[in-house]
Amino acid sequence: MELVEEMLAGDVLSLARLITRVERDGADVPQIMKQVYPHLGKAHCIGITGPPGAGKSTVVDRLTAVLRQRGFTVGIIAADPTSPFTGGAVLGDRIRMQQHYLDEGVFIRSMATRGSHGGLPRTTGGVIKLMGAFGKDCILVETVGVGQTELDIMQNVDTVVVVLVPEAGDAIQTMKAGLFEIADIFAVNKADRPGADNLVAELRMMVHLRSEETWWQVPVVATEAINNVGIEELYGQIEKHRQALEETGRLSQRRQEQRRQEFLEIVERRVSEELLKLVERDEELGRHMAMVEAGEVDPYSAADEILRPRTLLASWSRQLAERRSSD
Amino acid sequence: MELVEEMLAGDVLSLARLITRVERDGADVPQIMKQVYPHLGKAHCIGITGPPGAGKSTVVDRLTAVLRQRGFTVGIIAADPTSPFTGGAVLGDRIRMQQHYLDEGVFIRSMATRGSHGGLPRTTGGVIKLMGAFGKDCILVETVGVGQTELDIMQNVDTVVVVLVPEAGDAIQTMKAGLFEIADIFAVNKADRPGADNLVAELRMMVHLRSEETWWQVPVVATEAINNVGIEELYGQIEKHRQALEETGRLSQRRQEQRRQEFLEIVERRVSEELLKLVERDEELGRHMAMVEAGEVDPYSAADEILRPRTLLASWSRQLAERRSSD
| Mean pLDDT, residues A269-278 | 70
For range B302-317, the mean pLDDT: 69
Report the half-sphere exposure of A31 (CA within 13 A, side-chain side). 10
pLDDT at A276: 66
Taking residue A25's Cβ as centre, other Cβ atoms within 10 Å add up to 13
State the pLDDT at residue A52.
75
The residue among A99 and A200 whose pLDDT is bigger is A200
- Work out the average pLDDT over B241-253: 93
pLDDT over 70 at A311, yes or no: no
Per-residue confidence (pLDDT) for residue A263, from 0 to 100: 85
Of the candidates B264, B266, B316, which has its C-beta nearest A300's C-beta? Answer: B266
CB B172 within 8 A of CB B202: no
Rounded CA-CA distance A55/A52 in Å is 8
Chain B CB contacts of A309 below 8 Å: 274, 316, 319-320, 323
Give pLDDT, residue B273.
Answer: 73
Identify the residue with better confidence: B132 or A50: B132
Query: What tens digit of pLDDT does each residue of B130-145 get?
Result: 999 999 999 999 987 6
**With 60 as the cut, is the pLDDT of residue A93 above it?**
no
Closest residue, chain B, to A112 (C-alpha): B176
Q: Which residues pair with B161 in a beta bridge?
A: B48, B185
Candidate ranges A119-123, B74-78, B203-207; pick with highest mean pLDDT: B74-78
B187 vs A316, residue with greater confidence: B187
- Inter-residue long-range contacts of A250-258, CB under 8 Å, 24+ positions, other chains counted: A250/A215, A251/A158, A254/A158, A255/A41, A255/B295, A256/B293, A256/B294, A256/B295, A258/A155, A258/A156
Residue A315 · residue B313 · CB < 8 Å: no
Asked if A270 is an interface residue toward chain B (Cβ–Cβ < 8 A), one would say: yes
Is the pLDDT at B249 greater than 70? The verdict is yes
- Look at residue B258 and tell me whether its pLDDT is greater than 80: yes
CB–CB of B118 and A118 under 8 A? yes
Q: Could you report the per-residue pLDDT of B262-272, keeping only the tens digit for each?
A: 888 887 777 76
Work out the angle between the directed axes of helices B309-326 and A309-326 (0-180°, nearest 10).
Answer: 150
- Arithmetic mean of pLDDT, B74-101: 68
Phi first, then psi: what are they for A133, rounded to 5°? -65, -35
Give the per-residue pLDDT at B256.
87
For chain B, give the percent of residues with pLDDT over 90: 39
Q: Which residue has the higher pLDDT, A319 or A153?
A: A153
pLDDT over 80 at A168, yes or no: no
Residue B300: pLDDT over 90: no
3-state secondary structure of B196: helix
Q: In Å, how far are B156, B205, B255 from B262, measured between CA atoms? A: 10, 35, 10
Q: Is the pLDDT of residue A89 over 60?
A: no
Residue of chain A whose Cα is closest to the Cα of B41: A295
Alpha-carbon distance of B26 to B263, in angstroms, equals: 18
Percentage of residues of chain B with pLDDT beyond 70: 78
* Interchain CB contact of B270 with A (< 8 Å): yes
Residue B301: what pLDDT? 87
Q: What is the mean pLDDT of residues A58-71?
A: 94
**Phi, psi values for residue A236, rounded to 5°:** -55, -40
B163 CA to chain A: closest CA distance, Å?
16
* Torsion angle in degrees (nearest 10) through CA of B30, B35, B41, B47: -40
**What pLDDT does residue B246 have?**
94
Are the C-beta atoms of A37 and A130 separated by less than 8 Å?
no
Q: Which of B163, B185, B184 is nearest to B174 (CA)?
A: B163
Judge whether A205 is closer than 8 Å to chain B, CB to CB.
no
- What's the average model confidence in pLDDT over B223-250? 95
Split at pLDDT 50, 70, 90, the class of A74 is very high
Is the per-residue pLDDT at A96 higher than 90? no
pLDDT at B306: 75
Residue with more model confidence, B241 or A80: B241
CB B306 within 8 A of CB B275: no
Q: Is B299 on the interface with A (CB under 8 A)?
A: yes
Q: What is the pLDDT of residue A110?
A: 82
Q: Is B269 on the interface with A (CB under 8 A)?
A: yes
Give pLDDT, residue B225: 92
Rounded (5°) CA angle B80-B86-B92 = 110
State the average pLDDT over residues A113-131: 78
A315, containing H or E segment:
helix A309-326
pLDDT higher than 90, residue B104: no
pLDDT of residue B110: 82
Locate the chain B residue with the closest alpha carbon to A143.
B147
Question: pLDDT tens, B191-226?
Answer: 998 889 988 998 898 888 876 777 899 999 999 998
Interchain contact, A52 vs B169, CB within 8 Å: yes
Which B-chain residues 7-26 have CB contacts (< 8 A) with chain A?
none
Average pLDDT along chain A: 83
Domain boundaries, chain B: 41-248, 261-326
CATH superfamily of B41-248: P-loop containing nucleotide triphosphate hydrolases (3.40.50.300)
**Closest to B169 (Cα-Cα) out of A60, A192, A88:** A88
Residue A286, pLDDT > 80, answer no
Whether pLDDT at A324 is above 70:
no
The reported pLDDT for the residue numbered B189 is 94
Q: Which of A246-255, B4-13, B216-225, B304-313 has the lowest mean pLDDT?
A: B304-313
- Selecting from A117, A172, A292 the residue whose C-beta is nearest the C-beta of B260 gives A292
Which residues from chain A sit within 8 angstroms of residue B86, using beta carbons? 176
Q: What is the pLDDT of residues A206-265, one digit of tens each?
A: 888 876 777 899 999 999 998 999 999 999 999 999 999 999 999 988 888 888 888 888
Closest by Cβ to A88, choosing from B173, B266, B295: B173
> What is the mean predicted confidence (pLDDT) over B154-179?
79
B146 vs B252, more confident: B252
What is the rounded CA–CA span in Å between residue B119 and residue B25? 8
Confidence tier at B290 by pLDDT (50, 70, 90) = confident
Q: A93-109 burial, b for 16+ CB within 10 Å, e for fewer?
A: beebbeebeeeeebbbb
pTM of the model: 0.70
Q: What does the pLDDT average to over A59-64?
A: 94
What is the 8-class DSSP label of residue B224? B
**Phi and psi at residue B175, to the nearest 5°:** -60, -45
Per-residue confidence at A280, pLDDT binned at 50, 70, 90? low
The answer to whether residue B87 scores a pLDDT higher than 60 is no
Query: What's the whole-number mean pLDDT along residues B295-302?
Result: 86
Candidate from A38-42, A71-75, B90-94, B273-277 with smallest mean pLDDT: B90-94
pLDDT of B74: 96
- The top-scoring range by mean pLDDT among A193-202, A279-288, B308-317 is A193-202
Question: Cβ of B148 and A176 within 8 Å?
Answer: no
The arithmetic mean of pLDDT across residues A84-97, rounded, is 58
> B-chain residues within 8 Å CB-CB of A123?
none
pLDDT tens for each residue of A20-43: 999 888 889 889 999 999 898 889
Q: What percent of chain A has pLDDT over 70?
A: 78
User: What number of residues does chain A have?
Assistant: 327
Of the candidates B144, B299, B301, the beta carbon closest to that of A146 is on B144
Paired sense of beta strands B159-164 and B185-188, if any: parallel
